[in-house]
Chain A
Amino acid sequence: MATLPRFTTRYVDWTPWVETVDEVGPTEEQRAIVDEIATSPRGRPYWATLAHDAPALRARHKLFRQSLAGTEDGSPKADLELAAVATSRVNGCVYCASVHARAYEGLTRNRALMRRLLDEGVDTELPGRERALVDFAAKLTRDPAALTGADLAPLRDAGFSDLEILDVAHAAAMFAWANRLLQTLGGQHIEE
């Protein structure tokens, strides 16, 4: 197995194991979608890898953004970021965890909680509300077929509406997707 850096809030770099469209010469459609989505040179290789299937990337990116958007009637964005980190922590995706840990910290200023989650994993001690969210995201990640209606009770008891729970589930499910791309199309490392 490839050696991964420890979970961190530092920037993690990602190097594709296949050539990107930038390297082989993009079509007009491919160049357009990468230019639209890649907000930094550092993140560009990932999008320029996925752009080999530009229609799939375009469709997926709409869903990805919506899954993390946060809503007034449902989950606040911080909860969706926490679901993303919990899923990534379970799956072992250091890259996704770092990106969304930074987003969570920016929204909540709760660095202590995020540090514990990254260092110790999803079973670390958490306040009731975060405990319920992380447990649900972890179970959806590990063994979704084992979920039952009873798994909603801790979330409802902690004050989540059903619409918020649906939003959290979508965010966690979206990272089942994202983690697999980052983990299986390239390598993750930190520049020392």
Chain B
Amino acid sequence: MPSVSIFLISHVRELALGAKRLLQQGNDQVTIIATGGLEDGEIGTSVDQMQRALDELPQEDEVLIFYDIGSAKMNAEMLIEMNPDRTIAITDAPLIEGGYVAVMMAGFGDDLDTVRQKAESSYHKSR
């Protein structure tokens, strides 16, 4: 069982869910959760919504967060502070390309640091 779960955060709900659908192709055993947009469907990110999604994951899961644009990262940082008992990391690797690599690596059973590093290095290599 992979120990790393992937958390996708976007400003738009459809984008988050679409990204999840695509990334799940990389490995259907890896847990991917995705939130996007505000409660009313407007563009933005909501830390409440992120918390609810996180609560569905087992406490022992390590979580790697991918985000789309800047303010989502700020909310992700707040989420980490609100959950000091969980192991959560944020990566600046792109949501789709980096996320895909992360899902593959998590599927191979890599740990959080390794998954994150591979997601980030694959992104830099391709540029």
Partners in one complex: no
List residues of chain A with CB under 8 Å of any chain B CB: none
